[in-house]
Amino acid sequence: MTTQDFVAMAQQCAPAVAPQTLAAIVRIESGFNPYAIGVVHGRLVRQPRREDEAIATVKALQAAGWNYSAGLAQINRDNWSRYGLTARTVCDVCRNLSVGAAILRACFRRARPIHAHPQEALRAALSCYASGNFVTGFRVGYVRRITEAAASGDTFVPALTSSATPIPVIRDRVTGSRAESRGRSTPVSPPSSNPNDDTARSQNNGGVEGSAVIF
């Protein structure tokens, strides 16, 4: 997911929260895995890689009575009924971001009367987002990790480019005048129609990585 992709998604699905803030939360909570599941007082053997794996795992956790969170913004199961989430819809990127933003906004509204400075209120809201109160998130380092993620330059995984790798050249063992001619710096001639002529071509298309936004 590139910077542009996430920002566009965040602006569409969670317009009331700054994309930079939402990106930092998602990076720490799920590592941008829409099928991520965090189990309280436990952990999965591995994280789901597909929607069907995530749904099956959520249903198994529900049946076993585990406390867990799921999706990009790691929405805790206690909030699912309030926001109409299910084992399937919690994996929906837009729906998950929308609910995560709604929870953060509710925390921010509660923190605003206590903290005059908006940034102080936001940090208190981050603690509330993770723990339900304005203290625990600071004590366990959650708020620090979010702010560091927002300030870092690698919030987003860069886009994979289609750059071609140049084909290496193997030097011929030649002697005499041919070796001397190969050693000279001469312009490259166009490809010959003679099938016995040696010709080589290489190409390297560079790509530009998506740069991360900051807090």
Closest CA to 74 of 49, 52, 100, 50: 100
193 has a pLDDT exceeding 80: no
Rg of the chain, C-alpha, whole Å: 26
Cα 71 to Cα 152: distance, rounded to the nearest angstrom: 22
Supply the pTM of this predicted model.
Answer: 0.71
Residue 174, C-beta contacts closer than 8 angstroms, at least 6 positions apart: 182
Q: What is the mean pLDDT of residues 73-89?
A: 97
Q: Three-class SS of residue 68?
A: strand
Q: What is the mean pLDDT of residues 160-188?
A: 54
pLDDT the model gives residue 203: 40
Cα 52 to Cα 55: distance, rounded to the nearest angstrom: 5
pLDDT band at 113 (very low <50, low <70, confident <90, very high): very high
Task: Please give the C-alpha separations between residue 152 and each of 147, 173, 175, 213, in angstroms, as whole numbers.
Answer: 9, 51, 56, 8
Report all structural domains of the chain as residue ranges with CATH numbers, in order of start. 3-151 (1.10.530.10)
pLDDT the model gives residue 4: 77
Element (H, E) at 64: helix 51-64
Contact between 124 and 114 (Cβ < 8 Å): yes
Contact between 29 and 77 (Cβ < 8 Å): no
Contact between 136 and 117 (Cβ < 8 Å): no
Residue 73 is classified by DSSP as: T
Q: Which two tokens stand for residue 80?
A: 């699912």
pLDDT band at 171 (very low <50, low <70, confident <90, very high): confident
pLDDT digits (tens, 9 = 90+) for 10-30: 999 999 999 999 999 999 999
Contact between 144 and 130 (Cβ < 8 Å): no
Q: Bigger pLDDT: 44 or 5?
A: 44
Task: Give the rounded distance of the alpha carbon of 136 from its chain centre.
Answer: 25
